[in-house]
Chains A and B, each alone.
Chain A
Amino acid sequence: MSRNPLVREVPPTSWFFRHPRYMRYMAREITCIFIGAYCVLLVVGLQRLAAGPAAWEGFLLGLRSADSIVFHLLALVAAFYHAATWFNATQKAMPLQIGEDFVPGNLISGAHYAVWVVLSLVVLFLAGVF
């Protein structure tokens, strides 16, 4: 003759296995570790450069190792995935209204992809690839 509400606890370390959309979210969050690690790598590179030509050469040599190449490939994939999730999210964060109508979301995300491609080409150009 009384209430006794049943509380269903959410498992704090395994909740994201409950649904594919939570797994996708975790994948997005985990990819940022690679991006962070790559930033650290760049800082180390700058530090080596400042330490003189010998240190810089050692650093470049290290980059050519098999481990380094595997890391770069992983970081590249992670960066692509992470960037894509954020570009896809821009239409939610920055809806654009013109008159009564909203600009279609895929145009907003698409514009980000386009800017990304252009900037990448500029960087590659400055790096002397072309």
Chain B
Amino acid sequence: MSNSPPRSQPPLAAPHGGAAASLGRPGGSSERIVQLEVLRYNPDTDTEAHFQRYEVVCQEEWVVLDALNKVKADIDPTLNYRWSCHMAVCGSCGMMINGEPKLSCHAFLRDYEGVIRVEPLAHFPVERDLVTAPDDFMEKLKRVKPYLIPKEEKPISAGEYKQTPAQLMKFRQYSMCINCMLCYAACPEYGLTPGFIGPAALTLAHRYNQDSRDGGRAERQEVVATHEGVWECTFVGACSEVCPAHVDPASALQQMKITSSIDWIVEHLIPGGKSARDTASREDAGDIS
């Protein structure tokens, strides 16, 4: 977690001529003073949280994370937050920035004016400063069985399960979830009803359900098609608006509602119809015939 704001000098710089090329965004490396207002909370000393103001000299092209790193390195070593990749793929640095869930490594200073208010991700308990406890999400992720339950078992030596590019595209978007939990911070249902499995975990269930190699939908329905599952979702759509990986959880959940409804119709209105859940319990009992 070593901090070092991005540099604009090459490691092997050798002075020589050459006209400056007009590449990239104009004014990328001009300086700017940024006011950060950061929520602070230290359970050792505080009974409640408070805001602290920092004034930071930044490059115009920086992201909010760069500004935080500068505070940590040069102004206040006691400020705490998570980060790692600085390329929006590890999902560590989710925060509320001016009230919006964002990856701070992907929140560009050029998009903000005035004081930038930085708070820990909404709807999660705050351990300290900008660090939240993701335990609830981790537990829910496990409950939806987000792994391949093969339709047919075969040994590695038998080669790959064939999957056409079209079959891959059917679920690929939903496999892009980086588990950053911004969707949980945006979802008012999760905020109000903490039992809700939530957008990312349900979307990963959908990802495997849609995979041509998978046969585990019936098992996942035990969690998915419940009032803590997709039926808690009222389609606010905020999850998809804030998703930095363009996963579109709202779409996944609505699709699961439709398939779950069809299951219900088959089970209750068609004589002899078998619901997905019936199938699952029979498989659990081991009497597949």
Contact = CB atoms under 8 A, between A and B. Distances in A.
* A–B: direct contact at CB < 8 Å: yes
Interface of A: 1-8, 10, 12, 15-16, 18-19, 21-22, 25, 29, 89, 91-95, 97, 99-102
Contacts of B208: none
Interface stretch (B14-22, B54-62, B87-95, B121-129): B121-129
Interface in B16-71: 41, 43-44, 48-49
A10 B125 CA distance: 12
A54 B127 CA distance: 71
Interface residues of B, number: 34
Contacts of A5: 43, 125-127, 133
Interface stretch (B175-183, B197-205, B250-258): B250-258
B214 interface: no
Contacts of A6: 41, 43, 48-49, 125-126
A32 to B, nearest CB: 12
A93 B262 CA distance: 14
A25 B237 contact: yes
Nearest to A92: B251
Contacts of B211: none
A7 B48 CA distance: 10
Nearest to B132: A5
B270 interface: no
A39 to B, nearest CB: 21
Contact of B43 (A2, A12, A18, A94): A2
A88 to B, nearest CB: 9
Interface stretch (B78-86, B110-118, B164-172): B164-172
Contacts of B254: 89, 92-93
30 contacts: A3-B127, A5-B43, A5-B125, A5-B127, A6-B43, A6-B125, A7-B126, A10-B122, A10-B192, A12-B192, A15-B188, A15-B192, A19-B100, A19-B238, A21-B236, A25-B188, A25-B237, A91-B251, A92-B237, A92-B240, A92-B250, A92-B251, A93-B255, A93-B257, A94-B255, A94-B258, A97-B169, A99-B166, A100-B165, A100-B166
B5 interface: no
Interface in B239-253: 240-241, 248, 250-251
Contacts of B238: 19, 21-22, 25
Contacts of B170: 97
Contacts of B6: none
B191 interface: yes
A30 B127 CA distance: 37
A2 to B, nearest CB: 7
A10 B126 contact: no
Q: List the 4 closest pairs (A to B, CB-CB), nearest first.
A: A5-B125, A93-B254, A4-B43, A10-B191
